[in-house]
Amino acid sequence: MKYDKKYEIMLSMLESAGYQAYIVGGCVRDMLLGRPVSDIDITTNALPEQIMEVFSGMKVIPTGIKHGTVTVLYDSEPFEITTFRVDGSYSDSRRPDSVKFSSSLEEDLARRDLTINAMAMDIRGKVHDPFCGEADLKAGILRCVGEPEKRFAEDALRILRTVRFASVLGYRTDEKTETAALAMRSRLGLISRERCRDELIKMIMGSHFAETALRYREIIAQLIPEFRPCFDFQQRSKYHKYDVYEHIVRAVEAAPDNELLRTAMLLHDIGKPQMFKLDENGVGHFKGHAGVSADIAREVMKRLRFSSDFTESVCTIIAYHSDTIGSEKHIKRMISRIGAENLFMLLEAKKADNLAKCEFVLDENPYFDKCAEIARELIRQDQCMSLRQLAVNGNDMKELGLCGKAIGAVLEALLALVIDEELPNEKDRLIAYTKEELL
Ligand code: ATP
Ligand code: MG
């Protein structure tokens, strides 16, 4: 654990100055589980000014000083140090109206969401656990600290955090907590879309996502109502053993550990119900669903404030996910059209898609690995697949008397011919061809 020494030094600096200090929350949970720790939070009875004084020799950023949080950079790694606090009343289901500093560790732990997130550990490794979080951790139970209705009413994001931990840890939710989470799901509308998006991303990265997303589908549909038509939608196809929604969530779980890919799988078939056609033999078809799904994905991702670059890549993968990938030439064309990175993602997406269909479809997956191999070889050979690699450029076209849009059009036409191996990528030949055929 790379943090070990550093956080110990920070705890001991606070203790030497006469304060109590603990690591707290998610990092204690993850350490007890032996999971990688993403960020270390420290809690102390020192007030913000006192924290700043203790760490005056280091870079200190008063990130949230009103709420008692300062960030200390140790070897440029950030540590959040927060004064024990109790949250005031919540009138909007998202932020406390006020926070009050406290001198009690237990009060600070009581404001935390789940028992497994409400433990603190001191420098000697002693765990402070007034809500029996360690027992819940061992038993695999997600349980609110205190009354679930009250805690979800205070901050509805806790509903999503609970579902996220179910997906990541594979835990079951205590009955009262689960009932309240489902009953109070409409309050998620009060939470900022960015915060919902961040939880959703963590949720889809979980290794128990499929089971979780099936159980809490109403909560997921609160964020993405476009899923509703997919629930229980029978595909009537020999390739599919699951309904559209179950296929989607299983494809997410089958995808590699990559946010972009998993987001693409989450939305890849969302437009299927709209495009469903039953043929005369009673077989279901979804022609055109990839494009429609990409359109819906774009809207969903805009609403959830995903960045535009991320959205574009996700939508590209979705738009092409049901195309067949053919010959070497086709692979070249695809690289030229969507870029090598997106093509590699697309091939992984196709494998994940198959993993959530009937078993026999899996026979196709080694072929996608072969396609990736071919693509890598084409790149290694520096084969011409983009305008940048073409042996002629805009200036050459100007010298031939072309201007404006015609330049781009001619270059694109030449690139297509080079990719299709109808012309070699040689300047003289390309210029001669342009003069003869394209002017
Ligand atoms: P991770 O860092 O792995 O995403 P985490 O549980 O550590 O998960 P953080 O956002 O780092 O999440 O929060 C640190 C701790 O703060 C949590 O473990 C929990 O004790 C508390 N906490 C975070 N968000 C809430 C919330 N909405 N309501 C109550 N307590 C919260
Ligand atoms: Mg954390």
DSSP secondary structure of 38-62: ---EEEESS-HHHHHHHTTTSEEEE
Report the distance separating Cα 254 and Cα 431, nearest Å: 49
Using alpha carbons only, what angle is made at residue 215 by residues 214 and 221, rounded to the nearest 5 degrees? Answer: 70
Its sign, for the CA torsion 125, 128, 172, 39, is negative
Q: Which helix (H) or strand (E) holds 72?
A: strand 69-74
Cα distances (Å, whole numbers) of residue 319 to 16, 257, 289, 330, 410? 59, 21, 9, 16, 27
Q: How many residues does the chain have?
A: 439
Retrieve residue 186's tokens: 């409409």
- Which numbered ligand comes closest to the C-alpha of 40? 2
Closest C-alpha residue for ligand 1 atom 21 = 112
Centroid of ligand 2 to alpha carbon of 209 (angstroms): 20
Using alpha carbons only, what angle is made at residue 87 by residues 83 and 92, rounded to the nearest 5 degrees? Answer: 140
Using alpha carbons, select from 262, 112, 270 the residue that is nearest to residue 202.
Answer: 262
**CA end-to-end span of the chain, whole Å?**
66
Instruction: Give 328's contacts (C-beta < 8 A, 6+ positions apart).
Output: 374, 378
Ligand 1: which atom is nearest the Cα of residue 27? 7
- The predicted pLDDT at position 67 comes to 86
Closest C-alpha residue for ligand 1 atom 27 = 158
Closest C-alpha residue for ligand 1 atom 6 = 26
Using alpha carbons, select from 40, 38, 43, 81 the residue that is nearest to residue 61.
Answer: 81
Retrieve residue 262's tokens: 């998993």
Site to probe by mutation for ligand 1, drawn from 81, 115, 117 as the one with most ligand atoms within 8 Å of Cβ, is: 117
Q: CB pairs under 8 A, 24+ apart, for 320-325?
A: 320/290, 320/346, 321/264, 321/268, 321/290, 321/346, 321/349, 321/350, 321/353, 322/289, 322/290, 323/290, 325/350, 325/368, 325/371
Report the distance separating Cα 44 and Cα 315, nearest Å: 46
**Beta strands at 172-173 and 141-142: parallel, antiparallel or unpaired:** parallel
Report the distance separating Cα 415 and Cα 127, nearest Å: 65
Using alpha carbons, select from 300, 200, 209 the residue that is nearest to residue 252.
Answer: 209
- The predicted pLDDT at position 4 comes to 64
How many other β-carbons are positioned within 10 Å of the β-carbon of residue 103? Answer: 10
- Which numbered ligand comes closest to the C-alpha of 117? 1
Ligand 1: which atom is nearest the Cα of residue 39? 2
Using alpha carbons, select from 122, 165, 121 the residue that is nearest to residue 142.
Answer: 165
Report the distance separating Cα 120 and Cα 130, nearest Å: 10
- The predicted pLDDT at position 1 comes to 43
- Which numbered ligand comes closest to the C-alpha of 82? 1
Strand partners, 172: 141
What is the three-state SS of 291-304?
Answer: HHHHHHHHHHHHHC
Is the Cβ–Cβ distance between 391 and 426 less than 8 Å? yes
Centroid of ligand 1 to alpha carbon of 149 (angstroms): 18
Is the Cβ–Cβ distance between 220 and 164 less than 8 Å? no
Closest C-alpha residue for ligand 1 atom 16 = 25
Centroid of ligand 1 to alpha carbon of 158 (angstroms): 9
- Which numbered ligand comes closest to the C-alpha of 205? 1
Ligand 1: which atom is nearest the Cα of residue 118? 20
**Which residues form the pocket of ligand 1, taking CB atoms under 6 Å from any ligand atom?**
25-26, 38-39, 41, 112-113, 117-118, 155, 157-158, 161, 202
pLDDT in tens, the chain (439 residues): 445 688 999 999 999 999 999 999 999 999 999 999 988 999 999 999 999 999 999 999 998 888 889 999 998 889 999 999 998 788 787 778 788 999 999 999 999 999 999 999 999 999 999 999 999 999 999 999 999 999 999 999 999 999 999 999 999 999 999 999 999 999 999 999 999 999 999 999 999 999 999 999 999 999 999 999 999 999 999 999 999 999 999 999 999 999 999 999 999 999 999 999 999 999 999 999 999 999 999 999 999 999 999 999 999 999 999 999 988 999 999 999 999 999 999 999 999 999 999 999 999 999 999 999 999 999 999 999 999 999 999 999 999 999 999 999 999 999 999 999 999 999 999 999 999 998 8
Report the distance separating Cα 262 and Cα 281, nearest Å: 34
CA 45 from centroid of its chain's CA atoms: 35
Report the distance separating Cα 220 and Cα 212, nearest Å: 10
Centroid of ligand 1 to alpha carbon of 113 (angstroms): 7
Is the Cβ–Cβ distance between 116 and 142 less than 8 Å? yes
Site to probe by mutation for ligand 1, drawn from 23, 86, 94, 112 as the one with most ligand atoms within 8 Å of Cβ, is: 112
- The predicted pLDDT at position 2 comes to 47
